């Protein structure tokens, strides 16, 4: 059955769909000997589809891997780093660190910690990162200063960030002192460094940021720097959450997550 080439590459774990589009635009993908154009379709059973000259064979479709990691501070959310810093792939078992097409689903900046998913299933990556699916992510955030309730309300309702307003979000106040405020915040959009940028704009910069959950998948007892494979039930549950609305759970105890 013919389908778009970028979808095939994603199913084979070569790249996410967006990554596959970049491969196509770079001229690295051929179909029956000719460079693929965006929108071209192929049938893996009958067509010869190659990436960097290496053919994709229907009988060699790779196994998909799904991992949850507890990212420590200082580890970057990329597959390689030109500065030589540790990457999230370094947290996986050694046999999975190279040659499997595993990549992070979204990112956490180097200074942030917490839950991050890795996979080589491009369609899974697309579903969990595309704005249309609204997969929520829950964060615990420590802000500098004593944040007034009206400022939190402003954040909840959405603020102008760049050229557009952020979506309304759920924020629960956890603790507050004279010099620090701790909140739990749920986002259903993934704009670059959104929490840090909004907090800075409101005058209460982030001291520490920790991701508690992706959808209904929580870190649980997974220790900092550790990784574990998702269970079949967890994979199924994440898939079932596409386009769903979620209750905001904020029951995790407040503690200082160390780097």
Catalytic residue set: 109
Q: Decide if 151 contacts 181 (C-beta within 8 A).
A: no
Give the closest residue to 68 by CA, choosing from 124, 132, 12: 124
Q: DSSP state, 21?
A: H
Q: Decide if 158 contacts 169 (C-beta within 8 A).
A: yes
- Parallel, antiparallel, or unpaired for β 29-31 and 49-51? antiparallel
Which residues is 41 bridged to in the sheet?
Answer: 4
What six digits make up the tokens of 78? 């990329």
Q: What DSSP letter does each residue of 62-83 carry, written as one string? A: PPP-EEEEEEPTT-BSSS--TT
d(CA 8, CA 12): 6
């Amino acid at each position: 059955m013919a389908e778009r080439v970028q979808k095939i590459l994603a199913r084979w774990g070569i790249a996410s769909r967006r990554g596959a589009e970049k491969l196509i635009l770079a001229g690295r993908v051929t179909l029956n000997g000719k460079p693929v154009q965006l929108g071209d379709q192929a049938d893996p059973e009958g067509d010869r589809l190659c990436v960097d000259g290496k053919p994709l064979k229907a009988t060699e479709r790779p196994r998909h891997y799904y991992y949850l990691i507890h990212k420590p501070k200082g580890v970057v959310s990329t597959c390689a780093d030109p500065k030589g810093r540790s990457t999230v792939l370094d947290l996986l078992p050694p046999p999975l660190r190279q040659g499997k097409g595993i990549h992070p689903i979204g990112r956490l900046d180097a200074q942030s910690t917490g839950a991050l998913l890795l996979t080589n299933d491009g369609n899974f990556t697309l579903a969990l990162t595309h704005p249309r699916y609204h997969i929520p992510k829950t964060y615990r955030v420590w802000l500098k200063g004593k944040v007034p309730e009206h400022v939190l309300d402003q954040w909840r309702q959405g603020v102008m960030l760049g050229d557009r307003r952020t979506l309304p979000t759920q924020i629960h106040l956890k603790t507050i002192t004279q010099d620090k405020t701790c909140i739990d915040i749920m986002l259903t959009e993934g704009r670059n460094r959104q929490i840090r940028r909004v907090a800075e704009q409101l005058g209460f910069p982030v001291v520490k940021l920790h991701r508690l959950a992706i959808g209904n998948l929580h870190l649980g007892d997974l220790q900092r720097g550790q990784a574990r494979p998702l269970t079949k039930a967890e994979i199924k549950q994440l898939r079932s959450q596409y386009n769903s609305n979620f209750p905001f759970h904020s029951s995790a105890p407040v503690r200082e997550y160390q780097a």
